[in-house]
Copies of this chain bind each other. A is one copy, B any other.
Amino acid sequence: MEKETTIYDIAKLLNLSPATVSRALNDHPAINSNTKRIITATATEMGYRSNTFASNLRRQRTNTIGVIVPRLNSNFMSTVLAGMEKVANKSSYNLIISQSLESVKKEVANAKTMFNSRVDGLLVSVAYDTEKTDHFDAFTKKGVPLLFFDRVLDHKQGTSIVIDNVKAGYEATAHLIGQGCRRIMHVTGSLKRNVYIDRLEGYRLALLEAGLPYEEELIRMTDLSEEAGIEAASHIQSMAGRPDGLFIANDFCAVSCMSALKRAGLSIPSDIAVVGFNNDPVSTVIEPNLTTIDYPGEKMGEVAAQSLINHLNGTMNIQTTNRIVLHSELIVRESSLKSAIF
């Protein structure tokens, strides 16, 4: 375990002052380009690596971005994170990632940790049951930029990156109606979350436009888990007026529901047409392939990280833009095609 070389060591060796070395290493304009060359050369030769803490301590910034997500291990989220990592890495920012596991309590704890780690900025997608935004106030109070993505909150100072969930929900439902469905069930998540309430709103609008009634009993709030899909399926079987269309706000749940319906002898789409959400890889594995909304996860991660970084570098002000909407799209597959026009 050798000792670390510091700018002092380099300075001593070259008979220069540490200040000059520091400046040279940071490519300061006021340093003779020749001295610069010599300094950087000996620096690498001596195996010098800049001490981030000393630098951070001095500069009061960390080059670190905090990320809080509900879960790491969902296809969507890991794709988002992949996008963020790409961008952050390119701009030499580090990512500190933590998961709330869908619990506000843990989200609050995570926020606190991030705060103490003094992240330069924070990217958040909130948990299932988060309602208040207090735990993020500390950040805005200290001027740490806050950016919500996908599951966003109405925070006075937070910018958000989303897709148009109303439109997506509308398209999904309108498509089912276009296929002749008249009783469409909607399986969704917590209506505290924009993503779900907005999709529901889109659903409602589509029904309204088509002159179809909005019935409470056709709306199921669940946690959109695998089990929820199975339960939804058995509920459907027990219903008096069985729905002929099904719009589930998450592919993974939709797929488990479809499997259960098929096991129960229903045929898709003829008995019941199904549309999911996310364009998860499983949607092309299930048979019939699942119609869904394509959701730009990686792009969302990239945009979120890039916006934050631009803001931090002063290239762009996030506080002025307070909402960025990404494009999403209905992808029609067999699970919803009643009219067999291929």
Binding site for B on A (CB under 8 A): 1-2, 49-54, 56-57, 62, 64, 71-75, 77-79, 81-82, 85-86, 89, 92, 94-99, 110, 113, 115-118, 141-143, 226, 252, 255, 259, 281-282, 284-287, 298
B contact residues around A54 at 8 Å (CB): 53, 57
Partner of A53, one of B53, B82, B95, B142: B53
B82 to A2, Cβ gap below 8 A?
no
A-B contact pairs, 8 of them (CB 8 A): A52-B118, A53-B56, A53-B118, A74-B78, A94-B113, A96-B96, A226-B281, A259-B284
- Asked if residues A85 and B97 are in contact (CB atoms below 8 Å), the reply is yes
Contact A89 B98 (CB under 8 A): yes
Most chain B CB neighbours (cut-off 10 Å) among A2, A99, A285: A285
What's the Cα separation between A23 and B118 when bound, in Å? 22
The complex places the Cα of A266 from the Cα of B101 at a distance, in Å, of 42
Q: Could you say which of B77, B141, B282 contacts A78, with CB atoms under 8 Å apart?
A: B77
Contact check, B72 vs A99: say whether CB atoms are below 8 A apart.
no
| B-chain residues with CB within 8 Å of residue A143 when the two chains form the complex | 1
Most buried by B among A2, A50, A79, A281: A281
Distance in angstroms between the alpha carbons of A259 and B289 in the assembled complex? 11
B residues near A73, Cβ cutoff 8 Å: 75, 78-79, 81-82, 298
